[in-house]
Amino acid sequence: MADVIYKRLYFDWGGRCAYCDVALSRMKTGGKVKASIDHFIPLSKGGQNGRSNRVLACYPCNLAKGDIDPRETNQWPDVERRLAEIAASPLLSHGKLRQLIPELVKQIGIEA
Ligand SMILES: [Zn+2]
């Protein structure tokens, strides 16, 4: 997973778990709660490995969601809406993300 993809995901989701809203460290490991990348529609169910299917999730939520296909359970309509908004929003450059992420981290009050 390229670093810029993770940074973009982190910024797109406001540094919070899409499912439980916990503030996440900007690093994938370390910090208070481990962050991970969840594929909203699981890759095993034909989900795409693209921005419109990537969700920032804390590790416990990612684990709990597992292989659930949201098209079958309709459990997370808010996440689905947000994903559609993100997919339609402009792609920020790596430089811009590097500039914006420290501000976001400060705002949500989490240590690097
Ligand atoms: Zn969570």
CATH number of the structural domain spanning residue 96 = 1.10.30
Report CA(23)–ligand 1 centroid distance (Å): 9
| Domain count for the chain | 1
Over residues 47-102, the pLDDT tens digits come to 999 999 999 999 999 999 999 999 999 999 999 999 999 999 999 999 999 999 99
Residue 88 structural domain: 3-108
Report CA(35)–ligand 1 centroid distance (Å): 9
Q: 25 vs 56, 59, 68, CA distance in Å?
A: 11, 12, 25
Report CA(55)–ligand 1 centroid distance (Å): 11
> Which has more pLDDT, 2 or 89?
89
CB 57 within 8 A of CB 10: no
Please state, for a pLDDT cut of 70, what percent of the chain lies above it: 91
Report CA(34)–ligand 1 centroid distance (Å): 10
Tell whether pTM > 0.75. Answer: yes
Report CA(33)–ligand 1 centroid distance (Å): 9
